Structure formats: C-alpha cells, structure tokens
C-alpha cells in the first residue's frame, strides 16, 4: 500500500451567484495556501467543478500528501488558514457547505 494520503473536500454552493463570487476569492486564497503546503509535503492540489444534476452546484478540492506526517503538518496549516479565511470572507461563505474526506491511496493506475 502507498504512503500517499489523500484529502477530498466537497464545496456545495447555494446558488450560482455565490459560486461566482467565491471563485476569484478561492483562486487567490488557494494559490497562496498551496505555496505554504508544498514545502511541507503536499504533492498535488486541484479543484474541480463537479457535474451534478441541475440545480446542484459543487466544486471538489483534491489534495495528495507524501505521507501521514506531511498530512498532519499540512492539516495544521489548513486549520489556521481556514480561521483566517473565515475572518475575511465569513459573510460570503455563510451558506456554503464544506464536507471533507480523508484516505490512503491503496492502488494507483495512473
């Protein structure tokens, strides 16, 4: 089994307006966050627009970490960044739902 740890966060938006408003914010903030995470063992970070039935708006953030130690260090950075992020943008983000999942890579067919 691989040592690689994955993290997937689903971000559900209440409507298109909120999704559009947050897109620029997320692009700026996530780029800066990735710069902090890379040296600590993050090996992949991408965000995707998920294709869902009409009316459901969701993005997914997929991250990979070198190993559990890297994940644990990066998770602390995520927590701190999240607190700062919601201080700045909490009003805009009030109706957005975040659901996070963690796991370990068992097989890789890439």
Name all domains of the chain by residue range, CATH numbers in brackets: 5-104 (3.30.70.100)
- The first and second tokens of residue 6, run together, are 């994955």
- The pLDDT score that the predictor gives to residue 23 is 86
- The pLDDT score that the predictor gives to residue 68 is 95
Average pLDDT, integer, range 81-102? 90
Task: Tell me the pLDDT band of 33, cut-offs 50, 70 and 90.
Answer: very high
Residue 3: partners with Cβ closer than 8 Å, 6 or more residues away = 66, 67, 68, 104
d(CA 92, CA 71): 28
- Is the pLDDT at 51 greater than 90? The verdict is no
């Amino acid at each position: 089994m691989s040592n690689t740890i994955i993290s997937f966060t689903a971000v559900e938006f209440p409507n298109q307006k909120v999704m559009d408003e947050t897109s620029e914010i997320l692009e700026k903030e996530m780029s800066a966050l990735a710069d902090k995470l890379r040296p600590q063992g993050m090996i992949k970070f991408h965000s995707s627009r998920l294709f869902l039935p009409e009316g459901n708006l969701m993005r997914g953030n997929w991250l990979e970490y070198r190993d559990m130690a890297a994940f644990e260090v990066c998770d602390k950075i995520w927590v701190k960044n999240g607190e700062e992020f919601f201080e700045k943008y909490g009003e805009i983000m009030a109706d957005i739902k975040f659901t996070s999942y963690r796991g370990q890579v068992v097989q890789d067919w890439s």
